[in-house]
Amino acid sequence: MKRLIINADDLGFSQEINQAIKKCYETGSITGSSLMACGDCFDDAVSMLKDLNVATVGVHLVITGDCTPLTKDDVFVSGYKDIFLQAMTGKLDKTGIYDEFKAQVEKIKGAGLEITHLDSHEHVHMFPGILEICLDLAVEFNIPFIRFPDEPCGIVWKEFSLKDMVRHVALKLFAKNAQTRVERSGIKHNDVFLGHFHSGRITDTVMEHFLNSLKEGTTEIAFHPAIESASFLEKFPWYKNASMEFATLISGKWKDLAKEEGIELVSH
């Protein structure tokens, strides 16, 4: 059986993202979302979920980027490259990361939402030293599912840069290294992941390619939708294609194809 999870990441980061995800829920264009506990628009996101009678959400764990940490100020770094270097040189502040991630989980639980799964901003939960923290938190808080971003190389469909391929291969190597530990944890996970290589660039055509290539088992596709504004793009230019992914989600074309292919839409 081919099962498909459509997840919207970065909920709570901005109003533009919150409004896009709200529309996706209203149109049945996603099967779940992941919430940033340290996002500037967290309260708005929680209120929106409750207005929609959505009682479940994933935790989008954050240790990089433009959010404000819930614990100590120096626990965040600018991006995944910094975390990579720390992980490779044994300089991770594991205690600080555990405390921050635990605070993020507790904040979402404290908002009255049931947590369905864990994933992370820039997939840092696959990095050595951080994976163990996330698996421990999943057990501690009885979170049944964790994203396993092992994206098949054969899914690549587009012209790409060397940087694209390096990021793709690096994450795949981390995921392969993490596979045994994830399996031994007993925590459920997706069989296949899509949306890293094409992150921010999932058009109707790319989505058609995904669905035509879907394997048996559970596949998760991560989207980053937003209703863009000039001020939003000026502040966060890396979301320049978020409106395109939003349009892909709500177009309905992928849902028709999923139905034709006998693909079951599921949540975490």
Q: For residue 6, give the CATH number of its domain.
A: 3.20.20.370
Residue 161: pLDDT over 70 = no
Between 50 and 153, name the one with better pLDDT. Answer: 50
State percent of the chain over pLDDT 90.
Answer: 66
Torsion of CA 255, 259, 264, 268, to 10 degrees: 0
Q: Which amino acid is at 30?
A: I
Query: For tokens 């000039």, what's the residue?
Result: 230
* Domain of 139, in residue numbers: 2-265
Give the HSE-up count for residue 79: Cα atoms under 13 Å, Cβ half-sphere. 3
Long-range contacts of 76-85 (CB under 8 A, 24+ apart): 76/100, 79/122, 80/122, 80/123, 80/124, 83/122, 83/124, 83/127, 83/130, 84/127, 84/170
The pLDDT value recorded for residue 13 is: 96
Tell me the C-alpha to C-alpha distance, in Å, between residue 69 and each of 72, 78, 212, 217: 7, 12, 40, 36
Structural domains counted in the chain: 1
Q: Read off the pLDDT of residues 4-28 as tens digits, 9 standing for 90 and up.
A: 999 999 999 999 999 999 999 999 9
Task: Tell me the pTM.
Answer: 0.93
Q: Which residues have a Cβ under 8 Å from the Cβ of 79 and sit 6 or more positions away?
A: 64, 65, 122
Q: Are 47 and 73 in contact (CB under 8 A)?
A: no
* Mean pLDDT confidence for 207-234: 92
Q: Are 4 and 249 in contact (CB under 8 A)?
A: no
* Mean pLDDT confidence for 99-120: 98
Q: Are 58 and 115 in contact (CB under 8 A)?
A: yes
Length of the chain: 268
Identify the bridge partners of residue 151 per DSSP, sorted by sequence position: none
Helices (H), the chain: 15-26, 42-51, 80-89, 94-110, 130-140, 162-185, 204-212, 230-235, 242-251, 253-260
The pLDDT value recorded for residue 158 is: 61
* Mean pLDDT confidence for 233-259: 92
Q: Read off the pLDDT of residues 47-61 as tens digits, 9 standing for 90 and up.
A: 999 999 999 999 999
Query: For tokens 């240790």, what's the residue?
Result: 63
Angle, alpha carbons 88-63-108 (nearest 5°): 140
The pLDDT value recorded for residue 160 is: 63
Given pLDDT bands bounded at 50, 70 and 90, which one contains residue 152?
A: confident
Mean model confidence pLDDT for the chain: 91
Given pLDDT bands bounded at 50, 70 and 90, which one contains residue 162?
A: low
Residue 159: pLDDT over 70 = no
Between 262 and 241, name the one with better pLDDT. Answer: 262
